[in-house]
Amino acid sequence: MAVVACGAIAQPMAQSVARHGWSVDVHPLPPLLHNQPHRIASEVERLAGSLAERYDRVVVGYADCGTYGALDEVCERLGLERLPGLHCYDLYAGADRMEELLDAEPGTYLLTDFLVRSFARTVEQELGLDRWPELRDEYFRHYTRVVWLAQSTDELELRELRTLAQAAAERIGLPLEVLHTGSVGLDAALGALVDG
């Protein structure tokens, strides 16, 4: 089986596959597609098409991810299953928990382990903060906190990520909160796709 995976969750997915000993290959698409969500559905369709010849089954390792239904149309047309939910945040923290977080403070900016590690590239550079630091307030004026959904359970890695998350939050001028989610949610969702 092959998973067409968002680059932002490809690595945790591959780790989940290894942990469970599933016979699954993870094929990532660039994570930065998230900033051009109108391209996600067609890119998924292209990669899934080319993998279909080599695999018995292809599934989609994306949530809705800001495609606002376009990905679901592709999945339906090609008979593919995808991960549930609106974003990977839903997978990590659970959709209900996410709703609570955003209800409590609509100005919550979320980080995952992936975003913490790649913050300079995926957030600062993409938003142009490296070239125009003055845009920071334009983007984050109405935000009140950063919540890092921490997936790692490895003490050493957590310590390293925590330093990076703290630095990221400081660069956008917001306080950091940490929510340890682990990766049970992602494991379960992927497991459901594997079981078909």
Partner 1 sequence: MTPEEILQGLYDETLKGNGPRVLELTHQALALDMTPGSLLFDALIPALEEVGARFERGDYFVPEMLIAGRAMAGSMEILRPLLADTGVETIGKFVMGTVKGDVHDIGKNLVNIMLEGAGFEVIDLGVQVAPEKFVAAIEEHEPDIVGFSAFLTTTMPMFKANLNALEKAGLRDKVIVMVGGAPVTQEYADVVGADGYAADASATVKRAKALLKERRSKVPA
Q: Which residues lie near ligand B12 (CB under 6 A)?
A: 34-37, 64-66, 86-87, 102, 106-110, 127, 139-140
Say how far apart CA 34 and CA 76 lie, in whole Å.
21
Cβ distance to ligand B12 smaller for residue 17 or 140:
140
Q: Supply the minimum distance, in Å, between the C-beta of residue 142 and partner 1.
A: 4
65 contacts which partner out of ligand B12, partner 1, none, CB within 5 to 8 A by kind?
A: ligand B12
Residue numbers 52-111 binding partner 1 by CB under 8 A: 64, 66, 68, 86, 99, 102-103, 106-107
Residue numbers 127-166 binding partner 1 by CB under 8 A: 127-129, 131-132, 135, 138-139, 142-143
1 contacts which partner out of partner 1, ligand B12, none, CB within 5 to 8 A by kind?
A: none
Q: Does residue 42 bind partner 1 (CB under 8 A)?
A: no
Cβ distance to ligand B12 smaller for residue 128 or 191:
128
